[in-house]
Structure 1
Amino acid sequence: MPTSMPAPSIRIPIELLTPTAFAQFGGVIENPAAAPSAKLPIPHRMPPPDSVNANQGSATKYLHVSHMSNLYSLAPSKKPARAVMNMFVCAPRDLKPHEPSQSMPSSWGDLELDDDDEGNGEFNRQLLDVSILERHPFTTQTFIPMGLSQTDRHTQYLVIVAPTLPASASRRNTERPPPYPTPNIARKKSLKDIFARARPRPYSNETSPPPSAFSRLPASARPKGPGLPDLKNLRAFVATGSQAVTYGAGTWHAPMIVIGDRPIDFVVVQFANDVGIEDCQEIHLKPNSSASEGIVVTVDSDGSGKVQVKAGVGSVKAKL
């Protein structure tokens, strides 16, 4: 029987996918000079990656645009992983018609997503049910769209992610331990560590050992632990064809969701060791039997089919 957890009844607005907004979940790969975030105010921008001239001066090479993590040394099986590259051909999703609801997204409670005031009638609202989340606990996963223009208004894709709850919250939410326990990464202190902290090193002014490999990683690339997804803080981002996205290892996310007229081909780069439960873990979201809906993303689009940003930086205040 698939692992499941109760889902609250909430509606989630769509945000613009930018490196700053997505930082806790992973990374965004985009041309810094032409990216949507390049036009945002400075507090909402990240410094561009280092760059050098390449190809006899005909190209700019941006360095280390994404961080790839292979954490399979922490997996219970200890089976080593290899780098793999797959392709996902993702068809557009069927959306359901908008129906007014009292549900409100907890993290954006100031938005009137179901305001019934008369508007200009230029936008169409549909709903997307989020019924499953997955994660890859020991590897990053990068989705690279192919054949989709940055200016394509008829087809985009959504990136839906959730933070990870502390492991102790699993029992409070489901009355059972975490469904997919992963090892505790806290390293036991050796005698060498204990003595190193007690006095300076003979040839150094440092009084403690160097930071662990994990502490040097970006926050999104560190192991997330065995906790369930934090559904009340789930977020949805819309991406253009000029953006690739890297999910940090262990980040809970929905399967890739295409919105629009045609499929999108994604090249997907990750590590895998072919142990099913270590490569991918899933949670099915079950709304309360008395609830009319569970977790729903509101998808507003204009006459050309372009998805509208309704929350966060760059949002538009459109009324239906």
Structure 2
Amino acid sequence: MVVIRTVQVGTDVQSIKAIQLTPESFAKFGAVFSADEQMSNVSQTSANQGTATKLLKVAPVTNNSDAAPSGKRATANWNIFRCSPPNHLIRQEVGHTTYLAKVLERHPYTTQTFVPMGRDAHEIGFLVICAPDDPVDHLPDFTKAEAFLCRGDQSVTYGVATWHAPMIVIGPHDHLDFAVLVHESGVPEEDCQEVTYEPGFKVLLS
């Protein structure tokens, strides 16, 4: 991981309101695994002697490390992230709950998939924040960031070089485990780049 810029956030920056994650709402940033929503509109076939329905090509798995300056080929790795709620960044304010976002990161040459493990299917378990790439400086345009509330039965795949916050667990539990699929070469600036924000920008959770 390499921090490539620190951005000062003015007091006039508007808060971002988090919405429910759906495949459609997240499409500009990557892909979503959400079987209840996708059973009716994703190509599928019968599997396992008729006891399963296979939804086809729900999300891409991409490794563009051949284009990286080092020329070092990244390998596909499954990692486990045990994430705790960032309670120091969550505030109860008048009429709503806010999260103070202080970091956006990207993986310049790979997709990254987060699969939550051990959370109720209908419970909101984590928050996802993404921002578009600024076409001029290729840093995240945090003023156009979007935030998504995610259930325990939903997973996300960030597109290649998509700016996103580190995983943010919310709710009453002390942690949430994720299985994470990503390509890594071991070259820090090619595996993960970060932009930090001071003091941060607010996301409305409720």
Aligned residue identity for 1:234: A
Tell me, yes or no, if structure 1 residue 286 matches structure 2 residue 198.
yes
What is the alpha-carbon distance in structure 2 between the residues aligned to residue 148 and residue 75 of structure 1?
A: 36
Q: Secondary structure in 2 aligned to 1:57?
A: coil
1:149-168: per-residue Cα shift (whole Å, max 9, x none)? 2123xx521110000001x3
Match of 1:188 in 2: none
In the alignment, residue 160 of structure 1 is paired with which amino acid? I
Larger radius of gyration: 1
- Unaligned ranges ≥5, structure 1: 39-46, 100-123, 171-226, 288-293, 301-320
Compute the TM-score of the two structures, normalised by the length of structure 2: 0.91
Find the aligned partners of 1:5 and 1:86 in 2 and give their Cα distance: 30
User: Superposition pairs for residues 65-214 of structure 1, below 5 Å?
Assistant: 65-94=58-87, 95-98=90-93, 125-152=96-123, 155-166=124-135, 168=136, 170=137
Q: 1:58 aligns with which of 44, 51, 56?
A: 51
In the other structure, the counterpart of 2:7 is 5
The residue that corresponds to 1:272 in the other structure is: 184
Residue of structure 2 equivalent to 1:296? 202
Cα deviation 1:269-310 (Å, max 9, x = unaligned): 0111110110000011124xxxxxx4101121xxxxxxxxxx
In the alignment, the residues of structure 1 paired with residue 41 and residue 32 of structure 2 have an alpha-carbon distance, to the nearest angstrom, of 11
Aligned length: 199
Contact 2:22–2:34 (Cα < 8 Å) also in 1 = no
- Answer yes or no: is the 8 Å Cα contact 1:14–1:238 preserved in 2: yes
Q: Distance in 2 between matches of 1:127 and 1:275?
A: 35
1:7 Cα shift?
2.5
Whether contact under 8 Å (1:7, 1:231) holds in the other structure is no
Please report the RMSD computed on the Cα atoms of aligned residues, expressed in angstroms: 1.8
Aligned AA for 2:14?
I
Q: What secondary structure is seen at the aligned counterpart in 2 of 1:138?
A: coil
Contact 2:134 2:140 in 1 (8 A): yes
The answer for the alignment partner of 2:19 in structure 1 is 15
Structure 1 distance, partners of 2:41, 2:108, is 28
Gapped runs of 5+ residues in structure 2? none
Q: What is the CA–CA distance in structure 2 between the aligned matches of 1:73 and 1:237, rounded to whole Å?
A: 32
What is the CA-CA distance between 1:248 and the residue it aligns to? 0.3
Equivalent residue in structure 2 for 1:25, among 13, 23, 29: 29
Task: Write the letter of the residue equivalent to 1:71.
Answer: N
Cross-structure match for 1:257: 168
After superposition, the C-alpha distances for 1:170-211 in whole angstroms (9 at most, x for unaligned) are 3xxxxxxxxxxxxxxxxxxxxxxxxxxxxxxxxxxxxxxxxx
Q: SS at 1:27's partner residue?
A: strand
Q: Distance in 2 between matches of 1:274 and 1:28?
A: 27
Partner letter of residue 197 of structure 2?
Answer: L
SS of the residue corresponding to residue 4 of structure 1 reads strand
Separation (CA, whole Å) in 2 of partners of 1:88 and 1:259: 15
1:261 partner amino acid: P
Amino acid in the other structure paired with 1:136 = H
